[in-house]
Amino acid sequence: MGSVTLQDTKPSGVYGTPPAELAEIPDGAIQFSPLIPGSAPLEGREEGTLGTMVVLAPPGTVERRYTIALALRALAPGGSLTVLAPKDKGGSRIAKELKAFGCDAVETSRRHHRICTGARPSLLTGLDEALAEGGPRLDEALGLWTWPGVFSWNRFDPGSILLEQSLPALSGRGADFGCGIGILARTILVSPKVEHLAMLDIDRRATDMAARNIGDPRAELRWVDIRGGTGLKGLDFVVMNPPFHDGGAEDQSLGQAFIRRAAEALRPGGALWLVANRHLPYEAVLKSAFKRVTPKVEASGYKIYEAVK
């Protein structure tokens, strides 16, 4: 009879979707990425309760160190940790960051990734600082709760600000697709004629912060991947600053999918208000999905459209 290991007695976890050829994900691993709706919150995992953890590390330094610190905290001493990332998106820094936490890791390179593996030591250093730096906070400059890693977490996105300044007073039932921490929703809900606002985002951290920032009973937060459908119908308006990067690479199909989902959610005569970078080719999909498309503003490298179904 073989010996029972820590990995056999405690559950395993995974953060993100590491390429299968670069890291083996144990069967039944608990997903912890805030970008995968339905996943568990790694920050809520009790200390020392995982036997194995595989992390596809995010590219931002603060977010990456925070995520690795959470993974180390959740692992039991002796638990197996694998952290990987593309070399040019933080991968080259992982080994040094693990060492700063007190981990001896073996580093390998494969398919433009750096892969670090090691065991969680009994004594960790620097975890509290990384957790404090990467966790949610009230940003005094923004006047909003925010979280490193969410879209435009430490600055006002210029596209969103231009859209905010261009919106008319909206009315009825509507939605904010890709709501982030709630910057556009604050302006939308100033109108007393707005009856209900569904706020949708793929990032749980964003919806958590938006819930703190928008204390309005008309707002409903949803953690959802809009590309898979929203279930919304008969809306009077949709507002969006759609994403156009997926995993760091430009992906124009994201915004196109948002536009199609908006058309599905709107009633005939309902309006989509959209801001996009000037170079993005959204006109064709707008014209195919809407009866009337009107460019409203062009400034600072952005375009704003009103599209009526």
- When pLDDT is cut at 50, 70 and 90, the band that residue 250 belongs to is low
Show the domain range for 172: 136-308
Number of domains in the chain: 2
In this prediction, residue 2 carries a pLDDT of 47
Domain end call among 133, 164, 184? 133
Residue 1 lies in a domain: no
In this prediction, residue 254 carries a pLDDT of 85
Residue 217 lies in a domain: yes
282 CB-side CA count, 13 A: 34
pLDDT in tens, 105-164: 999 999 999 999 999 999 999 999 999 999 999 999 999 999 999 998 989 999 999 999
- When pLDDT is cut at 50, 70 and 90, the band that residue 1 belongs to is very low
Neighbouring-strand partners of residue 304: 275, 297
pLDDT at 56 over 70: yes
Closest CA to 166 of 307, 300, 296: 296
* CATH number of the domain bearing residue 274: 3.40.50.150
What whole-number distance in Å separates Cα of residue 69 and Cα of residue 168?
44
Domain end call among 91, 113, 133? 133
Residues 82 and 231 in one domain: no
Residues 156 and 289 in one domain: yes
CB 50 within 8 A of CB 91: no
Residue 75 lies in a domain: yes
The mean of the pLDDT values for the chain is: 94
Residues 30 and 155 in one domain: no
Residues 91 and 157 in one domain: no
What whole-number distance in Å separates Cα of residue 58 and Cα of residue 274?
28
Domain end call among 133, 149, 177? 133
